[in-house]
């Protein structure tokens, strides 16, 4: 076995079974000899429950990696303890601000854990483990979709803040603090607060390159064969593409076995089959992995082993299952180009449809639904063309001087709204 450095993010709507799938993947990788860490980034941790760990073991190792088997550790981040231990100045300042607003000490300390701090702590640990080569595989059990996307966007947002605002704000505060301190209704940050932020930033440097390296980091989206869940999975997939995170699989969990004989559950089987067809249509050519509903809850090593076998069989869970982005948005001349990889499409006739917040592409028997980001909801299709095995669709905003007819589409292409 060749050791490799791999990071796999598991994301999805709450309740789809994401934590169990992440835990099962970690167990399977550890059995193959990879030093594996499964880290929870969700403030409502459930990894300990998935592995059925005793409460005493969790309390004894609060916030630190816990060995749960050969080559396997789990970690549930305790953000409050991390704040107190490593970023005392930042934590103390925000607690003081909330106290000045009239909150009691305990409430002020709870409120001082600002949104996003769980993700910052996770990134710090991730960077540390990579630099120290502690593990071969790190599995991130992300919070539900919205919070997971915040985790991914944090490095670039922090880069922007440090580059554009940090030094200016720190300099201004040095100048005004002596005068404003006595009249300000809230405590003003001391320079030690800014020094703590600077130290934090230095510890995060380089993590964005790792997350965007498709040879190292991929995401796997866990979903269920249900309408509401599928819509959120589409949104997550679209935003991961925008953030340039490689998605290498869609995992459909909690499927009723097709051999179910009971009339009540037969209806569920039929309903799920319809959504499975949609999932395969929406996310092709990504691998679609399916897990049937088990006859009991999946907890503990025995249950997770069953799930891992059902999901991966004898294959290596650390393998990169898909190596190319199915589509991407490229900013060009005030508009955007949607680039879609279509290696085997019939290039004679294309139908493009707008349906609410989706762009639907039909080429012969092939159909692809692409959810549009909010910024492009009012965009118009200005034309399309092929470049090799890629279809390029030009999107322009109303008022940019373009319309659906200002560029010639490829032969036979039509565009339809509605």
H or E element that contains 113: none
Same structural domain for residues 108 and 144? yes
Q: Give me the tens of pLDDT residue by residue for the chain, a chain 418 residues long.
A: 555 689 999 999 888 999 999 999 999 999 999 999 999 987 777 888 899 888 777 667 777 899 999 999 999 988 777 766 666 666 666 666 556 666 666 565 555 455 567 777 888 899 999 999 999 999 999 877 666 667 777 777 778 778 877 888 888 888 888 888 778 777 777 888 788 778 878 888 888 889 889 999 999 999 999 999 998 898 888 788 777 788 999 999 999 998 887 888 888 999 999 999 999 988 888 999 999 999 888 999 999 999 999 999 999 999 999 987 777 888 888 789 988 877 656 666 778 887 778 888 877 666 777 888 888 888 888 888 888 878 888 988 766 544 433 444 444 445 444 3
CATH of the domain at 142: 3.40.50.300
Angstrom CA distances, 238 to 220, 246, 328, stand at 13, 11, 9
Same structural domain for residues 360 and 249? no
Last residue of a domain, one of 275, 309, 325: 325
- Rounded to 5 degrees, φ, ψ at 115 are -55, 135
Same structural domain for residues 25 and 160? yes
Tally of domains within the chain: 2
Last residue of a domain, one of 325, 341, 367: 325
Same structural domain for residues 273 and 358? no
Same structural domain for residues 83 and 144? yes
CATH of the domain at 384: 2.60.40.790
The residue whose two tokens read 């440090």 is 162
3-state secondary structure of 350: coil
Same structural domain for residues 37 and 157? yes
Same structural domain for residues 154 and 256? yes
Q: State the Rg of the chain over Cα.
A: 24
Note down the domain range covering 33.
1-325
Same structural domain for residues 370 and 388? yes
3-state secondary structure of 382: strand
Same structural domain for residues 320 and 343? no
Q: Evaluate the CA torsion angle 98, 103, 105, 108 in order and state its sign.
A: negative
Same structural domain for residues 318 and 344? no
Same structural domain for residues 306 and 382? no
Neighbouring-strand partners of residue 221: 11, 250
The residue whose two tokens read 């569920």 is 268
DSSP-derived letter for residue 375 is G
C-alpha–C-alpha distance, residues 142 and 120, integer Å: 13
DSSP-derived letter for residue 379 is -
């Amino acid at each position: 076995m060749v050791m490799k450095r791999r990071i796999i993010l598991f994301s999805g709507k709450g309740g789809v079974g994401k934590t169990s799938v992440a835990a099962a993947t970690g167990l399977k990788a550890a059995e193959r000899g990879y030093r594996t860490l499964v880290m929870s980034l969700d403030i409502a941790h459930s990894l300990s429950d998935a592995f059925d760990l005793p409460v005493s073991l969790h309390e004894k190792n609060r916030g630190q990696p816990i060995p749960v088997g050969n080559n396997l550790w789990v970690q549930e981040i305790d953000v409050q303890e991390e704040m107190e231990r490593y970023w005392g100045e930042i934590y103390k300042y925000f607690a003081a601000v909330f106290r000045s607003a009239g909150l009691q000490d305990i409430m002020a300390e709870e409120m001082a854990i600002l949104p996003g701090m769980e993700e910052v702590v996770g990134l710090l640990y991730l960077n540390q483990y990579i630099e120290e080569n502690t593990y071969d595989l790190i599995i991130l059990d992300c919070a539900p979709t919205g919070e997971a996307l915040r985790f991914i966007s944090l490095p670039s947002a922090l880069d922007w803040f440090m580059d554009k605002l940090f030094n200016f704000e720190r300099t201004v505060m040095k100048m005004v603090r002596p005068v404003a301190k006595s009249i300000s209704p809230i405590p003003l940050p001391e320079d030690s607060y800014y020094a703590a932020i600077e130290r934090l930033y230095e510890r995060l440097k380089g993590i964005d390159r790792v997350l965007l390296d498709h040879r190292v980091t991929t995401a796997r989206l866990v979903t269920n064969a249900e309408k509401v869940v599928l819509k959120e999975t589409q949104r997550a997939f679209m935003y991961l593409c925008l953030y340039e995170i490689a998605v290498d699989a869609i995992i459909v969990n909690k499927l009723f076995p097709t051999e179910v004989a009971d009339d009540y559950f037969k209806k569920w089987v039929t309903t799920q089959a319809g959504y499975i067809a949609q999932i395969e249509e929406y996310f092709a050519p990504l691998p679609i992995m399916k897990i049937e509903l088990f006859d009991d809850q999946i907890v503990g090593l025995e249950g997770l082993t069953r799930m891992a076998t059902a999901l991966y069989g004898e294959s290596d869970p650390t393998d990169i299952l898909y190596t190319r982005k199915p589509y991407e948005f490229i900013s060009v001349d005030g508009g955007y180009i949607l680039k879609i990889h279509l290696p085997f499409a019939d290039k004679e006739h294309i139908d493009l449809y707008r349906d609410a917040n989706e762009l639907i592409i039909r080429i012969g028997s092939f159909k692809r639904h692409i959810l549009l980001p909010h910024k492009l909801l009012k965009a118009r299709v200005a034309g399309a063309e092929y470049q090799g095995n890629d279809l390029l669709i030009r999107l322009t905003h109303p008022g940019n001087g373009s319309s659906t007819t200002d560029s010639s589409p490829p032969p036979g292409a039509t565009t339809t709204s509605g």
